[in-house]
Amino acid sequence: MRLYEYEAKEIFENAKIPVPPRKVARSAEEAKTAAEEIGFPVAIKAQVLVGGRGKAGGIEFADSPEETEEITNRLLGLRIKDTPVHSVLVEKKVEVEKELYIGVTIDRFEFKPIVIVSSEGGVDIEKVAEEEPDKIHKLHIDVNDKLRSYQGRLLASSAGLQGKMISKVGGILQRLYGVFKKYDAKIAEINPLIVSGESVYAADAKLILDDDSLFRHPELKEKGISMRHDVSELTEREKLAQAEGIPYLDLDGNIGMFPGGAGFGIASIDLVKQLGGEPANFMDSGGGPTPERIAKMLDLLVDNPNVVTIFGARFGGISRCDDFAKGVMIFLEAKGTKKPMIMRMTGNKWKEGMEILENAKKERPELFEKIEVFGIDTPIEEVAKRAVEVAREEAGG
């Protein structure tokens, strides 16, 4: 979970990392008042959870109350990478002498925290890493250790800092590392860290937390920071799915994908593509969905006007095929058979699942006109082939 800049800055400030005076504003009026309190010139920065804000025109400077209002109105009307801007951060403009980059993340090759410092920070930091790798300095930290003072000084001096700045920036590195550990972060980053005379400021702040560790941080909730999803980039159906807690993505095709598991969800897209079909979505049905949830997932697919055929597969492990079959029945009884469904069931309780569907078919054959169910004897690729074939007929007809 990524925090807004203003949230990250509050955490950094509490950790004694120097941050310029600032205030969040949600209207031009609020921004003007904030700017007058802080004193001109100010930076006005769109608050969004996507990167590339500076390049998209999301940061501007103002010298007067009028300019502040004008810029804030413009920023609040802006969309950055399809994300609307709901607030801005009004911040004291800092004279830039030197821009550094400092960051802490997990090195997923070495499975250790890694501290990164660059003498050239700013928006082109990734280009620097690519083209001038000797300007980037890295240090792995032992999982059970902290960043020591001498390590902070070593990194600061390799980034070309001199005199008092070595200990100053070294100390900030230690505190940034402390925030990284304390908040179970995936990334804690300051880019740029501005050197201005005798002072140093975190001009930007990025903090991405591990969603799976949020239970350890009830203090975030007290600050008004709770689990969030960035819904602005989602399609209507994706929002619907997200509200139900179903991992779902829209794709361009016409085969509604209803696989079991995230890994197979991804693999089944490959499979259908290789067989000449076009998946309409990615979905992860998760481990052990209830019948009601399965029915909901099928609703999502059948309500999608692009979907002409549904391809379902269930390999019961922690989940059970009888639950899968029950879910299919809830769905069929509520919605009827509007679209063909080609499915395979095997694994945990697959025979019981087949029985449920066979018995239901005897009672209400009309519900099963467009349903084909296969068991363990038919390989998954054969079933996928059949789904692609049916989709082609449906799309052609």
Partner 1 sequence: MAIIVDDKSRVLVQGITGGAGKFHTKNMIEYGTNIVGGVTPGKGGQEVEGVPVYDTVHGCVMGENPDVSVVFVPARFAADAVMECLDEGLKRIILVPERIPIHDMLEVRHKAGKAGATVVGGNSPGVVSPGKANVGIMPPIAFSEGRVGTVARSGAITYYLADTLTHSGYGETTCVGLGGDPILGSNFEDILRLFDNDPETEAMVMAGEIGGLYEEIASQHMSEIKKPVIAFIAGLYAPPGKRMGHAGAIVEKGMGTAESKVKALSDAGVPIAKKFSDIPKLLEERIGKA
The one segment of 58-66, 140-148, 236-244, 293-301 that binds partner 1 by CB under 8 A:
140-148
Inter-CA distances, 159 with 94, 137, 396, Å: 21, 7, 63
CA–CA dist 330, 92 (Å, integer)? 59
The one segment of 40-48, 54-62, 195-203, 314-322 that binds partner 1 by CB under 8 A:
314-322
Shortest distance (Å) from residue 140 CB to partner 1? 11
Q: What is the 3-state secondary structure (H, E, C) of 244-282?
A: CCCCEEECCCCEEEECCCHHHHHHHHHHHHHCCCCECEE
- Establish if 369 lies at the interface with partner 1 (CB under 8 A): no
The residue type of 185 is A
Return the residue of 47, 83, 119, 348 that touches partner 1, per CB under 8 A.
Answer: 348
- Establish if 119 lies at the interface with partner 1 (CB under 8 A): no
Return the residue of 4, 324, 331, 350 that touches partner 1, per CB under 8 A.
Answer: 350
Contacts for 364 with CB less than 8 Å, ≥ 6 apart: none
The one segment of 129-137, 163-171, 195-203, 335-343 that binds partner 1 by CB under 8 A:
129-137
- Establish if 162 lies at the interface with partner 1 (CB under 8 A): no
Q: What share of the chain is helix, strand, coil (3-state, %, to 5)?
A: 45, 25, 35
CA–CA dist 91, 36 (Å, integer)? 11
- 233 token code pair: 């980039």
Contacts for 271 with CB less than 8 Å, ≥ 6 apart: 380, 381, 384
Shortest distance (Å) from residue 285 CB to partner 1? 10
Q: In the window 52-91, what residues touch partner 1 (CB under 8 A)?
A: none
Inter-CA distances, 119 with 131, 167, 168, 190, Å: 14, 15, 15, 13
**Residue 29 CB burial class (10 angstroms; 0-12, 13-18, ≥19):** exposed
Q: In the window 188-217, what residues touch partner 1 (CB under 8 A)?
A: 189, 191, 206, 208, 210-213, 215-216
Shortest distance (Å) from residue 358 CB to partner 1? 19
Q: In the window 233-292, what residues touch partner 1 (CB under 8 A)?
A: 249, 251, 259-264, 266-267, 269-271, 273-274, 279, 282, 287
Question: Contact positions toward partner 1, by CB under 8 A?
Answer: 51, 101, 103-109, 111-114, 116, 125-126, 129-130, 136, 138, 142-144, 181, 184, 186-187, 189, 191, 206, 208, 210-213, 215-216, 249, 251, 259-264, 266-267, 269-271, 273-274, 279, 282, 287, 315-318, 346-348, 350, 376, 379-381
